[in-house]
Amino acid sequence: MPAEDHFINRGLLKVKVNDYLRQELRRAGYAGVDLQKTPLGMRVVVYAARPGMVIGRRGTTVRELTETLEHDFGLETPQIEVSEVEVPELNGSIMAERLAQRLERGDHFRRAAYGVLRRIIGAGAKGVEIAIAGKLTSRRARYQKFRSGFVAKTGEPIRTAVSHGWAFAIMKPGVLGIQVRIMLPDAIAPDRPVIMHREVEVQPMPAPAPEAADIEVIEEELPIEEAPPIEEFVDEGAEPVPDSVEPEVPVSPAPVPEEVPPPEEKPAPKEPEKPKTKPKAKPKKEAEKPKVKKKKEVTEEKPKAKPKTKKEKAEAKPKAKAKAEPKPKAKAKPKEKAKKEKAKTEVKPKKKAEPKKAKAEAKPKTKAKASTKTKTEKSTKKATKSKSKESKAKTTKTKKESSKK
């Protein structure tokens, strides 16, 4: 068997085992499988978020899986090991399967996708890309992508730094395909250099100690010069003063304050008496000015006006109105009344129809009479208004005079 066929067959076997385990361990959070050949047999490592569901009660599920792998897939003595995924939010296949389960329950695709995206970013991923394809909202199929952060698409980072997973959601309109790509937090992109810091310990250089053999000590004695004697200057005319006795300084006695006699109280000077003078006689009233007399006489003659009460004011108003109204006409004499009654009783002859010209001449006469009446009424109104104003002015004057007094 050539080497190429060996590796192809090995890859096909891994794909078949992966698909089988994905269907069987869907609820356990299946993340992947790894096949390792050993002298004792084939070692199968299963990665899952819930290892307890993979093992089953008393290992029943593990025994069933080993039998199927040995009989159906031809694995020699398979030995299954289960390892738990530490952070399932950073595994693409686990998150794709969770999103498919939410869609099958009936959640809206946008709400479910954004919920999964937030959980992945909250776990510390550098970037996420979720793609959902199929009949999302209508009969026509389409795809929707949800991105956040940075996700590598080409080069070596796809194999080392990106976790890729896919899943299927079986819906009533059809099947939805889901792909999830997660950029791991420890990923290092080739186009983004990393600066490495190295700590270097710097030790101070010790100072070189001087050697005793190299240094020569030279001691020289310098000559000490004696200071010249100091000559004393003595004044011949001055008296000799002994060195031990200090000159006495005359101490002046403290001045005694003199007693000041209290000042004698001097008698207050008497004011000179003013000469007695006779009181001046008051000028007679006759000498006063005549104008002042007239004013007094006028004031004496006029009696003081008493302030009017409310009743008097109320009585004064109807009087003023009565004055302003025109006087009624004198009553007609009895003779004139008798004449008028006779004229009424007598039958008047019917007047002939006057021509139109006579009627037109009669109209201006009636108009002239009406104009005269209106003029008289206006004149009477003006007279009443002037009288009422004068009466008001008089009352205000009397009030002011009374208030001043």
Query: pLDDT tens digits for 356-399?
Result: 555 555 555 555 555 666 667 777 777 777 777 787 787 887 87
How many angstroms separate the CA atoms of 63 and 31, rounded?
Answer: 20
Decide yes or no: CATH 3.30.300.20 for domain 3-85: yes
Residue 363, pLDDT score: 55
Q: Is the pLDDT of residue 351 over 60?
A: no
Residue 110, pLDDT score: 94
pLDDT (average), residues 218-225 = 69
Residue 388, pLDDT score: 78
Architecture of the domain whose range is 90-183: 2-Layer Sandwich (3.30)
Could you state, in order of their start, the residue ranges of all structural domains in the chain? 3-85, 90-183
Q: Is the pLDDT of residue 296 over 60?
A: no
Residue 318, pLDDT score: 62
**pLDDT 10s digits, 73-109:** 888 889 999 999 999 999 999 999 999 999 999 999 9
Residues contacting residue 326 through CB under 8 Å, at least 6 positions apart: 380
pLDDT (average), residues 232-254 = 56
How many angstroms separate the CA atoms of 49 and 336, rounded?
Answer: 141
Would you list the DSSP string of 141-162?
-EEEEEEEE----SSTHHHHTE
Yes or no: say if 72 and 13 are a contact pair by the CB < 8 Å rule. Answer: no
Confidence label for 282 from pLDDT (cuts 50, 70 and 90): low
Yes or no: say if 183 and 126 are a contact pair by the CB < 8 Å rule. Answer: yes
Among 65, 59, 64, which Cα is nearest to 45's? 65
How many angstroms separate the CA atoms of 106 and 7, rounded?
Answer: 43
Q: Is the pLDDT of residue 222 over 60?
A: yes
What does the mean pLDDT of the chain come to?
76
Amino acid at 354: E
